[in-house]
Structure 1
Amino acid sequence: MPESDIASISSYWDAAAPSFDEEADHGLRDPLVRAAWAERLRSWMPHSPADVLDLGCGTGSLSLLLAEQGHRPVGVDLSSLMVEQARRKLAAAGFDCTMMTGDASDPPAEAGHSFDVILVRHLLWTLPDPEGALRRWIGLLRPGGRLVLVEGRWQVPESGQTYAAGSASLPWLGGVSAERLLLALRPLAAELRTEPLTDPDLWGRPIHDERYAVIARP
C-alpha cells in the first residue's frame, strides 16, 4: 500500500480506536455475541495448537478467542492504537501473543512467513488492491492451510468514493458479495466453502444485508 494511503488510513483507524469495542461484534462484551464468535472460530480452525495470522486484528478480540482455544495468534493492524489495545487485552488475560503494527494487505516479515490459518474479518473493503492481497495471503499458508475470510456486502457506495481523506479509491468499498469474492479466489484455491453468517447473535442485532464466511484451501 502506498505510504500516503498508509498514513491517512492509519490515522482514520487510530481515531476510531477509543470507541471501536463499543460495537457488539468488535468488543465481544456481550456473552452471547462472544460465545457465537467462539463457536464459529472453533468450527473454522484446525486442531489446536495452530499458528494463526489475524490480519486487521483491530483490538484483538478474535485473537483473544483463538488464544483461549489453544492456538498461537499473531495479529497485524495498521492502527498502532488498536494494536496497543490488543496487546493489553491479551496480556490481561494472561497470553503472550505477538500483536504488531503493519500493513495487513502485505504483512511485515516480522509477523512470519508460514501459517496454518490466515483469518481476515471485514478488511477487504478497506484495501485499494484486495485481489493482490488475496494472492499474498494464500502464499503465506502452509500445505493443508486455510484462509478464512469473514465478509459481507452492506452498502453500494458511489464510484471512486473513499472512507479516509487522501486515500486511494477502493474497489470493494461497502463490502464485497460472496459471488464476487469467490470469482477472485477460484484461480488461487483448490477448495472453497461458503457459510452464511446471518445469526443475530454474531452481530448483537438482526442484520438484513449479506454476511458470510469463505474458507479457502490452496
Structure 2
Amino acid sequence: MTSPTELWDDEARTYDEAADHGLADPACRAAWRDLLLGVLPSPPARVADLGCGTGTLSLLLAEEGFEVTGVDFSPEMLQRARTKAGHVVRFHEGDAAAPPLEEAAHDVVLCRHVLWALPSPSEVLERWLRLLAPGGRLVLVEGDWSTGAGLSAEATLALVRGTGREATLRRLPEPVFWGREITDSRYLVVSAS
C-alpha cells in the first residue's frame, strides 16, 4: 500500500502543470496575488504556508515582501519548492497537521486545499491558531469537489467558528483562479482576531 508521503512525492513531478498549482499563467498568478493581498496584513508580515506543496504561493508572497515559511511532508514537493523559491522562503519538512513551527510567531497561517484531508480538523485548527501572534489571521482556501472529497464552505466556517473566532467566506467560482470553468464549490475563509 502506498503511503501518503509516497503518493504526494509521485504527484510532485506533475503538480505544477495545473494552472492553479504552478501559477504559470500570468492572469491566474495575478488573480491569486490580488486575492491574497486583499486579505493579508501588509508585508513584511510573517506567513506560515502549511501544506505548501511546490511552494508556489510561498514564492508569490515572498516576492510581495512577506516573510514566508513553508511546511510540507513530501520531500519531493519540498525539493521543487526549494528549487523554485529556496532563496527567499524557509522550508521545513513536516506534517501540516502538527507543523514544526514556533507558536505565536506568525501573523498569518495560510493553508490551501489541505484541511479537508486531515484527520481531526477541529484539533488541527486549534494547533494552527496557536502559531498565530496576537492579532494573527487564519486564511484557508478549500473546496467541496465534484469527486466527493473536500469540505463544504458551511462545514469549514463551522470548524473555524468552533474555535471561538469569527470568519468570513468568499466563494471562488471564477475560472481565472483555476485555469478553467469549475462545477464544484471552492472558496476562501478568513478569520482575523
TM-score bracket, normalised by the shorter chain, equals over 0.9
Which whole-Å CA distance do the structure 2 matches of 1:97 and 1:47 have between them? 17
Question: Structure 2 length normalisation: TM-score?
Answer: 0.94
Residue of structure 2 equivalent to 1:77? 72
Secondary structure of the structure 2 residue equivalent to 1:191: coil
Instruction: Give the count of matched residue pairs.
Output: 192
Determine whether 1:212 maps to 2:187.
yes
Which whole-Å CA distance do the structure 2 matches of 1:103 and 1:212 have between them? 23
Q: Which has the larger radius of gyration?
A: 1
Q: Which is further off, 25-34 or 127-136?
A: 127-136
Residue of structure 2 equivalent to 1:162? none
- Pairwise CA distance, 1:187: 2.6
Residue of structure 2 equivalent to 1:100? 92
Which whole-Å CA distance do the structure 2 matches of 1:41 and 1:182 have between them? 18
Which whole-Å CA distance do the structure 2 matches of 1:156 and 1:13 have between them? 18
Question: Structure 1 length normalisation: TM-score?
Answer: 0.84
Aligned residue identity for 1:204: G
Determine whether 1:57 maps to 2:57.
no
- Pairwise CA distance, 1:156: 5.9
Which whole-Å CA distance do the structure 2 matches of 1:183 and 1:45 have between them? 21
Structure 1 stretches of 5 or more lacking a match?
Answer: 158-173
Secondary structure of the structure 2 residue equivalent to 1:179: helix
> Structure 1: which 4+ aligned runs deviate by more than 6 Å?
none
Q: Indicate the RMSD between aligned Cα atoms, in angstroms.
A: 1.5
Which whole-Å CA distance do the structure 1 matches of 2:92 and 2:132 have between them? 19
Aligned residue identity for 1:106: A
Determine whether 1:151 maps to 2:142.
yes
Q: Which is further off, 124-133 or 14-23?
A: 124-133
What is the percentage of aligned positions where both structures have the same residue? Answer: 48
8 A Cα contact 1:56 1:104, kept in partner: yes
8 A Cα contact 2:59 2:89, kept in partner: no
Q: How does 1:105-120 map to 2 (within 5 A)?
A: 105-108=97-100, 111-113=101-103, 114-120=105-111
Q: Could you list the per-position Cα deviations for residues 86-109 of structure 1 after superposition, in whole angstroms to 9, with x for gaps in the alignment?
A: 011014xxx33211110011001x
Structure 2 stretches of 5 or more lacking a match?
Answer: none
- Pairwise CA distance, 1:27: 0.5
- Pairwise CA distance, 1:149: 0.3
Are the structure 2 counterparts of residues 25 and 183 from structure 1 closer, same or farther at C-alpha, using a change threshold of 3 Å? same
